[in-house]
Structure 1
Amino acid sequence: SQRSRIVQVREIITELEASLGKTIPLDDILRSASEKGIEESEVEEIIERLKRSGDIFEPKRNFISKL
């Protein structure tokens, strides 16, 4: 479901933050999500939603950080 996908993407961001630090390349998020069976277009939509809700931001192009 959409809700569980959002939770999965948030978990991916948290996991990658632990290994990569605060600024996470979008490509790494897409790769991890793809391994979990989430479409790239869906991940991008979820990232946009998380940016709008203020959970994450894009400090520079194609990099994501949690707030």
Structure 2
Amino acid sequence: MFDELINKSVEILVAFSTGFPSGGAVPNMYKGTLLSCDDDFCKLKLFKSKSNKDIIYIATKFIITIKEI
């Protein structure tokens, strides 16, 4: 699905995030190196992490956009 972006720096906009009382939600943005991607999950090594998690898995059904940076 995103094979041409493997091992490249990417910016991923993800649909899951904290909601607001009005019902809307702001998507989360992650920047990092895309390590692998299949039909269900993408594995991303983050550039900067607020916690000890350097590698995260994102379900492809929640990805809004993915672009090379």
Question: Normalized against structure 2, the TM-score is what?
Answer: 0.26
TM-score, normalised by the number of residues in structure 1? 0.27
Normalized per residue, the structure richer in strand is: 2
**Bigger Rg, which one:** 2
Write 1 or 2 for the structure with the bigger share of helix. Answer: 1
| Higher RCO by CA contacts (8 Å cutoff, separation 6 or greater) | 2
